[in-house]
Amino acid sequence: MSEVAHSGGGVSESADARAGNPMWSSRLAFILAASGSAVGLGNIWKFPYITGENGGGAFVLVYLLCIAIVGLPILIAEVMIGRWGGGSPIRTMQWLVKKEGLSRHWVGLGWLGVSASFLILTFYSVIGGWAVSYVGEAANSSFAGASSDEIGSIFGGLLSNPWQLFMWHSVFMLAVVMIVARGLKSGMEKAINILMPLLFLLLLVMVGYAASTDHFYAGIEFLFAADFSKLSTEAVLSALGHAFFTLSIGVGVMFAYGSFLPKDVPIVKTAVTISVVDTGVALLAGLAIFPLVFANGLEPGAGPGLIFQTLPLAFGKMAGGVFFGTLFFALLVIAALTSAISMLEPTVEWLEERQGFNRMKATIVLGALAWIMGIGTVLSFNEWAEFYPLAFIPVFEGKTIFDILDYLTANLIMPLSGLCLAVFAGWFMSRKVVKEQLGLGDGVLYDSLIFTLRFLTPAAVAIVFIYNLF
Ligand code: TRP
């Protein structure tokens, strides 16, 4: 897309300017793609284990609140800005500041997002690789009747072997590149149209199985019975941080996906749907996992190992464990894949705007770069497990490359750029544009959204951000 296409006045122009650019074929296609991005390792791996660590119900309640007052408003703002600009996050911000006569520093927001989602991809793919390898382990009955030590050594064996990790990371990244390279419609939309329904189906099968055990009620109670005495400050902060990660907001993904959104799709309604789907999947994942954990007398607060160590023990003990175990890890792979696709998209969209890059070339170049950079994460679990490259900076002390990337993106960049996004949309964008894009008109809904973006969201995020830093 050329600079010329984006110049000139009139709000509706951006839509004309990108005529010829691909668009999602329907509102549903966008909902599936954005939910595909949102539903990922965060929902099926991280949400259950942080809920387990933080004692269940009360944490879940705080998390729901964070989604409502922080996650949803930022999601709305991000999709809105993305659609209005119609280009990559960087191009969109360049165009927007020019048009609205704002400081050029705001373009940094686009850069921050694009680089963060790319960095996340480099390590997400390695964890996605764990999930791929676990499909094989489950299908090969490796968990059947295994003791806790044996399961531990499967996980430990995987992590300590850089070649194996690298191979699974490569398989995962190759799948991502193959999908993104084929473009919006014949690549991403097609893949997502198959993968998302499959994900919902597998999830329902897993929940159905959990419901047939005697411990389903214990799972429900764990997730929904709120005991506030178990709630720490730490828990509140991690709920808020997770709200960002799980909705993929603040890092250009929803900018990029929003740039392909047809003009007539109502943004607020659509964003609400995406948040509900994402939250629903996280809760259902909890309902699938905890009953199995309790039925087998295992510990819900096992931390990151919950689904890679605790859950395989349950699969190893239960009837049909090979079948359900394989399904569960396939579900995890699908969730991770549709998220990883979305992490590559902002950078690809940006590179495609440069001269000499079509989608195929842009995807291959960036996919290869992310693949090579992923080696840093691969080695963080073995050869470089004690290599702390940024130890001279206090917050990065004792952190491996993987720890640094994770902390930098999820705890620092995402809240920071989310905060800026809320401030930008709440204070700096013209009311006229916001109203037009959201199609809300005057009314309570519009007023409360602006109030939230102006005050509630920034205040909540600022607290987390400062806490994370110090
Ligand atoms: N939301 C995804 C999850 O819950 C992760 C994710 C997808 C993401 N795209 C992102 C996180 C972009 C940060 C940035 O697993």
204-261 pLDDT per residue, tens? 999 999 999 999 999 999 999 988 888 888 888 889 889 989 999 999 999 999 999 9
365 falls within a domain: yes
- The pLDDT assigned to 20 comes to 57
Task: Kindly indicate the confidence band of residue 12, based on its pLDDT and cuts at 50, 70 and 90.
Answer: very low
How remote is the CA of residue 248 from the centroid of ligand 1, in Å? Answer: 4
Q: Report the chain's terminal Cα–Cα distance, integer Å.
A: 42
- The pLDDT assigned to 59 comes to 95
Rounded CA-CA distance 346/116 in Å is 10
Residues with Cβ within 8 Å of residue 108, at least 6 apart in sequence:
none
| Ramachandran angles phi, psi of 21, nearest 5° | -70, 150
Instruction: Give CA separation, 11 vs 15, 78, 93, 279, 428, in Å.
Output: 9, 17, 15, 33, 16
320 falls within a domain: no
The pLDDT of residue 4 is above 60: no
255 falls within a domain: yes
422 falls within a domain: yes
DSSP letter (8 states) at residue 343: H
- Joined tokens for residue 299: 């510990």
CB distance 117 to ligand 1 below 6 Å: yes
DSSP 3-state percent helix, strand, coil across the chain (nearest 5): 80, 0, 20
Q: Count up the domains in the chain and report the number.
A: 1
Q: Are 228 and 303 in contact (CB under 8 A)?
A: no
Residue 209: which of 284, 259, 271 has the closest Cα? 284
The stretch 429-436 carries a mean pLDDT of: 89
DSSP string, 179-222: HHHT-IIIIIIHHHHHHHHHHHHHHHHHHHHHHHSTTHHHHHHH
- Joined tokens for residue 345: 């998209």
433, burial (CB in 10 Å: exposed 0-12, middle 13-18, buried 19+): middle
CB distance 41 to ligand 1 below 6 Å: yes
CB distance 248 to ligand 1 below 6 Å: yes
216 falls within a domain: yes
Size of the chain, expressed as the number of residues it contains = 470
The stretch 319-330 carries a mean pLDDT of: 96
CB distance 253 to ligand 1 below 6 Å: yes
- Joined tokens for residue 277: 């789907």
Highest mean pLDDT among 301-315, 353-367, 423-437: 353-367
DSSP string, 125-150: HHHHHHHHHHHHHHHTTTTTT--HHH
pLDDT tens digit sequence for 175-197: 999 999 999 999 999 999 999 99
Quote the pTM value.
0.93
The pLDDT of residue 169 is above 80: yes
CB distance 131 to ligand 1 below 6 Å: no
303 falls within a domain: no
- The pLDDT assigned to 192 comes to 97
7 falls within a domain: no
Q: Which residues on neighbouring strands pair with residue 21, listed in sequence order?
A: 19
- Joined tokens for residue 411: 């705890």
How remote is the CA of residue 162 from the centroid of ligand 1, in Å? Answer: 25
Domain that holds residue 73: 16-127+162-294+344-469
315 falls within a domain: no
